[in-house]
């Protein structure tokens, strides 16, 4: 991804933040506003980041994946269900139940991706149709099971949703503890505290950031990455040097599915311990936009996901400052105004105004010898 596009992203984020700071500075110091917004941005961007990584792995290997939304939704459901099940039926304690739920979510994502792989790689079904199948299946399956297990007269949990074992805890990364002794001035100390507040995140959010850099490294600096990209660019060429195209594609689609599974876990295991039908609410598709905006690179996709996260963060902070918003800015409280940002951005991307994006050459093309 080129620097021009990173610049564009930085400008949008700065504009969004400045609006909130200029409104809220009468109530809170700017530094505090910025740090809390950054923290929200990172948290909200987590499922988008993971969803985009899911797409990057799948599409870099040559399989178009529009089923990320469905994979996230299914994983969110089964992760949550798994945690409840472990807690109530098997009697594990909270912590273990939650961790097992997380694992269930990741496995569910992998299995949904396996289905997509079978359809698109082995049976060469049109990949857009395959992805649509995943999305529809996800809505049907989670909606149906949700009703059957929790809300029916004779349902398994007897007509009410049992209390869930809870959510993952916030991790405290000891930035202050390590760096505070080095500080000599008050300003330095404040800065360190601010940074610390930004990175006091939950485990999935933290791992999403780590996974961005790990994925980037894998894709561009390792044997696995080279082969993955080769298979997505020119599978026949990969075949002629002895690379098993089918295996590489399967593996990457499934890895992608596991990323989507982790994104699903963000909703029900990390964020809020409950499930409602359609809870992913289009975030899988926004992830795809982030992936395209990021030109199919992990770091680029992350940057794009942060823009979408920042627009959400702005929305949330506007709620905090609603009593001090000047009347001429009142429209910013309307959720649909700020909520439009991701979609407007997506349209910008598609017009090519901020530079062209180039998908892998064999993206979406089944491999035939």
Nearer CB in complex with another protein: 83/230: 230
CB of 52 to another protein, least distance (A): 20
Quote the tokens at residue 327: 């009347």
Nearer CB in complex with another protein: 219/288: 219
Nearer CB in complex with another protein: 182/241: 241
CB of 240 to another protein, least distance (A): 5
CB of 336 to another protein, least distance (A): 38
CB contact at 8 A, 264 and 73:
yes
DSSP state of 326: -
Nearer CB in complex with another protein: 151/217: 217
Which stretch of DSSP H or E encloses residue 316? Answer: helix 298-320
270 contact partners, CB below 8 Å, separation of at least 6: 46, 167, 168, 202, 203, 204, 205
CB contact at 8 A, 119 and 137:
no
- 28-35 contacts at long range (C-beta below 8 A, 24 or more positions apart): 31/190, 31/194, 32/194, 33/317, 34/194, 35/194, 35/195, 35/197, 35/198
CB of 368 to another protein, least distance (A): 12
CB of 229 to another protein, least distance (A): 8
CA-wise closest residue to 311 among 289, 282, 344: 344
Nearer CB in complex with another protein: 90/213: 213
Nearer CB in complex with another protein: 252/312: 252
CB of 130 to another protein, least distance (A): 25
Nearer CB in complex with another protein: 188/361: 361
Quote the tokens at residue 346: 């997506």
Question: Within 10 Å of residue 356's Cβ, how many Cβ atoms?
Answer: 8
Binding site for another protein (CB under 8 A): 217, 221-223, 226-227, 229-230, 233-234, 236-243, 361, 369
CA-wise closest residue to 101 among 54, 169, 49, 165: 165
CB of 202 to another protein, least distance (A): 29
């Amino acid at each position: 991804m080129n620097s021009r596009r990173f610049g564009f992203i930085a400008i949008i984020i700065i504009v969004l933040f400045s609006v909130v700071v200029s409104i809220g500075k009468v109530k809170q110091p700017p530094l505090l506003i910025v740090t809390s917004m950054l923290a929200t941005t990172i948290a909200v961007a987590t499922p988008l980041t993971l969803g985009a990584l899911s797409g990057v792995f799948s599409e870099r290997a040559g399989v178009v994946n529009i089923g990320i939304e469905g994979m996230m939704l299914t994983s969110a459901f089964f992760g949550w269900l798994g945690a409840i099940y472990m807690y109530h039926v098997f009697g594990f304690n909270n912590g273990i139940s939650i961790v097992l739920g997380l694992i269930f979510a990741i496995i569910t994502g992998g299995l949904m991706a396996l289905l997509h792989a079978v359809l698109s790689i082995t049976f060469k079904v049109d990949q857009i149709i395959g992805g649509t199948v995943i999305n529809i299946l996800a809505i049907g399956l989670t909606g149906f099971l949700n009703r059957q297990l929790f809300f029916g007269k004779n349902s398994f949990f007897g007509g009410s949703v049992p209390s869930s074992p809870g959510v993952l805890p916030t991790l405290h990364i000891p930035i202050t503890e390590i760096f505070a002794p080095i500080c000599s001035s008050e300003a330095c100390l404040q800065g360190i505290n601010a940074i610390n507040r930004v990175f006091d995140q939950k485990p999935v959010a933290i791992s999403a950031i780590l996974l961005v850099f790990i994925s980037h490294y894998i894709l561009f600096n390792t044997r696995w990455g080279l082969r993955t990209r080769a298979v997505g660019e020119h599978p026949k060429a990969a075949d002629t040097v002895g690379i098993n195209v089918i295996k590489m594609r399967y593996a990457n689609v499934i890895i992608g599915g596991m990323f989507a599974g982790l994104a699903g876990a963000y909703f029900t295991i990390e964020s809020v311990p409950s499930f409602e039908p359609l809870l992913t609410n289009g975030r899988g598709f926004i992830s795809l936009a982030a992936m395209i905006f990021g030109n199919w690179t992990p770091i680029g996709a992350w940057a794009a996901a942060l823009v979408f996260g920042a627009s959400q963060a702005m929305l949330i902070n506007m709620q905090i400052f609603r009593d001090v918003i000047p009347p001429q800015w009142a429209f910013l409280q309307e959720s649909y105004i700020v909520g439009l940002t991701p979609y407007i951005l997506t349209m910008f991307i598609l017009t090519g105004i901020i530079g062209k994006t180039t998908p892998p050459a064999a993206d979406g093309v089944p491999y035939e010898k």
